Amino acid sequence: MTGILALVFASLAALLHVYIFVLESMRWTAPATRRVFGVADLQAAEITKPLAYNQGFYNLFLAVGAAVGIGLWIVNGIGDVAGRTLLIFSLGSMLAAALVLVTSGRRNLRPATIQGTFPLIGLVLAILA
């Protein structure tokens, strides 16, 4: 049961990071996205667009790593070293990124919590499974 829950939370973490990728790399200048990230206006969004684009792909790569780890775990079973290792690494990286976000200012506590909760739960469960 722990393994199944680990995969569920890992999947939620991967989906969230794909969503963040879409916001940062594809919809950065959209008014709704600017509100989510607290970007003051279109001019500021245009200036920061290359950074957001790059950051979005980091999120996508973390999601892909988690997805491949999940897939290997499902296909080869809980004992699959490659799948489990990749999943734990990807979830740990997502969690570390959320912790780094907190260090950039207290105003980022809420987004870091949103970004890091699913990976934290998935990581703990994957280790315990």
Q: CA-based angle 25:29:35, to the nearest 5?
A: 105
Query: Is residue 55 packed enough to be buried (19+ CB in 10 Å), middle (13-18) or exposed (0-12)?
Result: middle
Q: Which pLDDT does position 77 carry in this prediction?
A: 82
Q: Where are the domains of the chain?
A: 2-128
Give the percent of the chain with pLDDT over 90. Answer: 87
pTM of the model: 0.91
Cβ atoms of 109 and 70 closer than 8 Å: no
Rounded distance between C-alpha atoms, residue 123 and residue 105, angstroms: 25
At 52 the three-state DSSP class reads: helix
Rounded distance between C-alpha atoms, residue 97 and residue 20, angstroms: 13
Q: Which pLDDT does position 80 carry in this prediction?
A: 80
Mean pLDDT of the chain: 94
